[in-house]
């Protein structure tokens, strides 16, 4: 009976031996796809993702509306957001989602470029597979071409003056051109450059930017141009007591990681009270302890308190009598940003508070933004952390404006870190394709075909820009190839509004070199991983009833048999 059970729950995965005994290795319900069928399935799934993203690429790209299971709507053309919110099921397609996430975490922009490039590589790989060229040969050619592309990219890149705000604004504007905030891109670019320049640090010969030091707050209401940069921190909290001042100039700020209240003891205690006088004495002692805490804060010269934990109502009363503005339940991350912005230090024990621990701000004020009250801490002497408040008349627009601002901040930060820029608008991709084609003729053999396919894939990025603008891609690519054959042509690309050839550097369309370099590396790696897969073994999914019991298929039958 036991053998019958084993045979019923296994699948024959190989042909029977000459002796007539079958080789059984996979469980019932397991699906296995091998060889060319497995490869084609993966290629189609990955290319489908790239085609979905392709229409959003460039200044003339379209937006996607994503509706989740709860009915929440997201309207965006941000590649990372689209792939994150779209519930992708196919395992090969998920690899391109990971490419987008990797690009987003590494350089913060260029996610669509990485995914589209991987899709183009796979499209041309499929054509080579139809010519019976082995995947290993294609992978080898792609890797040779990638190394050449990165080498040429480094040669094309030009150093920048990191002190030139105008140049950095061009980088930010280029990033914002394809976003929903296109009409306010000058204003947003100016905010992005000022914010990044404020938090940048020089470590040795390199510049380091931690974008976590830039706080972004979204508030529905107003217009995009009502957005603002605050040289300090904005707390999404309100002043805790009506008797406290709403505005404090020349603020001396105490940053507390301690509660302004009497905490319960860690051990269980019982107090026997036999008369009303004992209750009064107990409450008076509690009030006295809270008053001592407030007196300590006032004695060091603090006139503003930002507390990570709670503030007792009695303590609030004493603070209000001293004219101290207080905020409670602030987030730890906000407290750390305040530490960098105001020059203060977070204190965990009020007894240890000294005047040197206090931070400074020219102004602390509670303001009403939209329907909410917020506390603005601004005018810090040399803030190493700043805030951006983003406004907009439509909630979806505010969300998209935040994503756009993050891309612009990332682009400026990348430019400072790289110290090099390249022309955008598809000009660099055409120049790279030219050099890769020249390499292909030197390599020869079947790898030559793969290297040429790589060149066409890079050109595919520029083709996507042209197609999304409604122009004729074949005519435009021929014009671009001819123009780039001249030594002075490396900056040339298509003006998507007119269809004319323009100098992208002169037009101010420039971007950090790391965005394209990372997209080429990530796209190539994803494509080569998918091309190496020749066998897909998918386990059977749990039946609904089994999921509820937590048992796998076959376990219940096995229990009965035993």
pLDDT score at 464: 92
pLDDT score at 361: 92
Say if CB 88 and CB 53 are below 8 A apart. Answer: no
What is the band of 320 on the pLDDT scale with cuts at 50, 70, 90?
A: very high
Mean pLDDT of 106-121: 89
* Tokens describing residue 304: 């503003």
Say if CB 117 and CB 540 are below 8 A apart. Answer: no
pLDDT in tens, 368-427: 887 888 999 998 878 888 999 999 888 888 888 998 999 999 999 999 988 899 998 889
Instruction: State yes or no: pLDDT of 547 exceeds 50.
Output: no
Of the listed ranges 7-21, 27-41, 166-180, 222-236, the least confidently predicted one is 7-21
Q: Which residue has the higher pLDDT, 8 or 254?
A: 254
CA dihedral sign of residues 460, 465, 469, 474:
negative
pLDDT score at 555: 52
The rounded distance, in Å, linking the Cα atoms of 306 and 292 is: 18
pTM: 0.81
- Residue 203 CB contacts under 8 Å (≥ 6 apart), including other chains: none
Cβ neighbours around 90 below 10 Å, total? 15
Q: Which residue has the higher pLDDT, 34 or 71?
A: 71
Q: E strands, 504-546, where? A: 510-512, 535-538
Nearest by Cα to 375 from 335, 320, 318, 319: 335
Give kind and range of the element (H or E) at residue 172: helix 165-176
pLDDT in tens, 37-78: 777 888 888 888 889 999 999 888 888 898 888 888 888 888
- Residue 302 CB contacts under 8 Å (≥ 6 apart), including other chains: 252, 253, 254, 324, 353, 358
- 528: β partners: none
The rounded distance, in Å, linking the Cα atoms of 101 and 495 is: 30
Q: At what angle do helices 395-418 and 185-199 cross, to 10 degrees?
A: 50
Instruction: State yes or no: pLDDT of 28 exceeds 80.
Output: no
Cβ neighbours around 528 below 10 Å, total? 21
The rounded distance, in Å, linking the Cα atoms of 139 and 185 is: 40
What is the band of 542 on the pLDDT scale with cuts at 50, 70, 90?
A: low
Mean pLDDT of 452-470: 92
Which segments of 227-368 does DSSP mark as H helices, in order? Answer: 276-299, 313-321, 332-342
Q: How many residues does the chain have?
A: 562
The rounded distance, in Å, linking the Cα atoms of 185 and 176 is: 6
The rounded distance, in Å, linking the Cα atoms of 50 and 43 is: 11
- What is the SS3 string spanning 262-290? CCCCCCCCCCCCCCHHHHHHHHHHHHHHH
Nearest by Cα to 305 from 373, 370, 264, 353: 353
What is the band of 264 on the pLDDT scale with cuts at 50, 70, 90?
A: low
* Tokens describing residue 20: 């007539």
Distances (CA, A) of 174 to 81, 144, 167: 19, 30, 11
pLDDT in tens, 188-222: 999 999 999 999 988 888 888 888 889 999 888 88
């Amino acid at each position: 009976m036991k053998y019958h059970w084993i045979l019923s729950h296994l699948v024959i995965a190989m042909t029977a031996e000459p002796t007539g005994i079958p080789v059984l290795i996979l469980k019932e319900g397991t699906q296995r796809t091998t060889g060319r069928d497995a490869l084609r399935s993966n290629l189609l799934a990955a290319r489908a993702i790239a085609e979905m993203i392709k229409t959003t690429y460039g200044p003339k790209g379209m937006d996607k509306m994503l509706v989740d299971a709860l009915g929440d709507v997201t309207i965006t053309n941000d590649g990372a957001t689209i792939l994150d919110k779209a519930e992708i099921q196919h395992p090969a397609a998920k690899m391109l989602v990971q490419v987008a996430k990797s690009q987003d975490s590494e350089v913060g922009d260029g996610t669509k470029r990485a995914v589209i490039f991987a899709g183009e590589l796979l499209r041309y790989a499929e054509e080579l597979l139809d010519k019976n060229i082995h995947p290993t040969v294609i992978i080898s050619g792609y890797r040779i071409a990638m190394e050449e592309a990165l080498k040429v990219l480094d040669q094309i890149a030009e150093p920048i003056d990191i002190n030139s705000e105008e140049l950095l604004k061009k980088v930010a504007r280029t990033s914002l051109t394809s976003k929903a905030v296109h009409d306010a891109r000058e204003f947003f670019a100016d905010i992005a450059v000022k914010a990044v320049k404020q938090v940048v640090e020089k470590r040795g010969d390199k510049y380091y930017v931690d974008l976590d030091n830039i706080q972004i707050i979204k508030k529905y209401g107003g217009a995009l141009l009502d957005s603002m940069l605050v040289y300090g921190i904005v707390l999404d909290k309100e002043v805790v007591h009506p008797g406290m001042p709403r505005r404090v100039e020349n603020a001396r700020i105490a940053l507390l990681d301690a509660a302004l209240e009497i905490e319960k003891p860690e051990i269980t205690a019982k107090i026997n009270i036999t008369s009303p006088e004992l209750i009064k004495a107990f409450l008076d002692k509690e009030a006295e302890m809270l008053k001592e805490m407030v007196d300590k804060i006032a004695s060091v010269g603090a006139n503003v308190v930002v507390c990570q934990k709670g503030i007792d109502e009695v303590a609030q009363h004493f603070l209000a009598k001293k004219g101290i503005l207080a905020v409670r339940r602030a987030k730890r991350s906000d407290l750390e940003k305040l530490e960098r912005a105001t020059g203060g230090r977070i204190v965990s024990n009020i007894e240890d508070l000294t005047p040197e621990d206090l931070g400074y701000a020219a102004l602390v004020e509670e303001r009403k933004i939209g329907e909410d009250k917020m506390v603005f801490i601004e005018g810090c002497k040399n803030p190493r952390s700043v805030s951006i408040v983003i406004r907009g008349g439509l909630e979806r627009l505010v969300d998209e404006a935040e994503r756009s601002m993050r891309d612009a901040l990332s682009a400026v930060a990348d430019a400072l870190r790289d110290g090099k820029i390249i022309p955008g608008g598809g000009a660099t991709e055409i120049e790279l394709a030219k050099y890769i084609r020249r390499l292909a003729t030197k390599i020869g053999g079947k790898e030559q075909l793969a290297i040429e396919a790589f060149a066409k894939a890079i050109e595919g990025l520029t083709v996507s820009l042209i197609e999304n603008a409604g122009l004729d891609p074949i005519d435009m690519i021929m014009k671009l190839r001819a123009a780039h054959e001249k030594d002075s042509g490396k900056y040339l690309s298509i003006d998507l509004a007119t269809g004319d050839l323009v100098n992208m550097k002169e037009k101010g369309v420039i971007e950090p070199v790391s965005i394209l370099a990372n997209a080429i590396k990530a796209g190539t790696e994803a494509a080569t991983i998918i091309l190496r897969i020749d066998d897909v073994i998918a386990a059977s999914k749990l039946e609904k009833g089994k999921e509820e019991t937590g048992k796998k298929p076959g376990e219940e039958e096995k229990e009965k048999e035993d």
